Amino acid sequence: MSNSATINIEEDRILTFGKYDAEEVQVGDDGLVRYINLENIMEPRSKGRHTDKQFYKAEVPIVERLLNRMYVAGHRGNKHKITSGINTGNKDKLWKIIEETFDEIEEETGENPIQVLVDAIENSAPVEEVVTYQRGGARARKAVIVSPQRRVDLALRLLVQGAYENRLADSKNAVQSLKEELVGAHNNDTNVRAVMTKQRKEKEAEGAR
């Protein structure tokens, strides 16, 4: 094959945001490999076509799953101390926020921002957690292994909630808040809420064994 043909193939290749190659990203946690889809996408386009399949989320590219979680970050605490119920979500706006966040992550770390996202997920995904069940007339707590699918779901929720809460607390813009949360989790910084919550869950599980 000629050099010109090779160049044309590279030029026609789809990259996420037209800039970042998800396929070069490595997932260090073997248990999560099947559940983190590293497909390149120019824009989110699955439009729910996987929802009739079991474990369909594993078919959705990980960057799109981040976007989907950002639509509504979710409540925190039994009394909904912090709620995202007021969020309505706008795909184009959220996609732009993620793109700008990735640009800032690349500038700050010099790394592929999708690799930073995947590392942040791995460092925020609890391996064990505690469940409560009824035993006779008493409630008991038990440590359980978290399924890989739930680990990814929990990590994305914790990361987005952390960024959302920081934005509310410090009046930061969305890009700055999300960047700080992802980079902090990528560095396994225990001051980041997602990492802190993961470690707390695993510590509680250890005590409930």
**Residue extents of the structural domains in the chain:** 3-207
What is the model's pTM? 0.84
pLDDT score, position 88: 61
Q: Please list the ranges in the chain whose pLDDT falls under 70.
A: 1-12, 46-56, 74-89
DSSP string, the chain: --HHHHHHHHHH---BTTTB-GGG-----GGGGGGSB----SS---TTTTTTSTTGGGGSBHHHHHHHHHH----BTTTTSB--TT----HHHHHHHHHHHHHHHHHHH-S-HHHHHHHHHHHH--SEEEEEEEETTEEEEEEEEPPHHHHHHHHHHHHHHHHHHHHHHH---HHHHHHHHHHHHHTT-TTSHHHHHHHHHHHHHHHT-
Digit-coded pLDDT (tens) for 5-64:
433 444 567 899 999 999 999 999 999 999 999 999 887 776 666 566 666 678 889 999
Topology at the third CATH level for domain 3-207: Ribosomal Protein S7 (1.10.455)
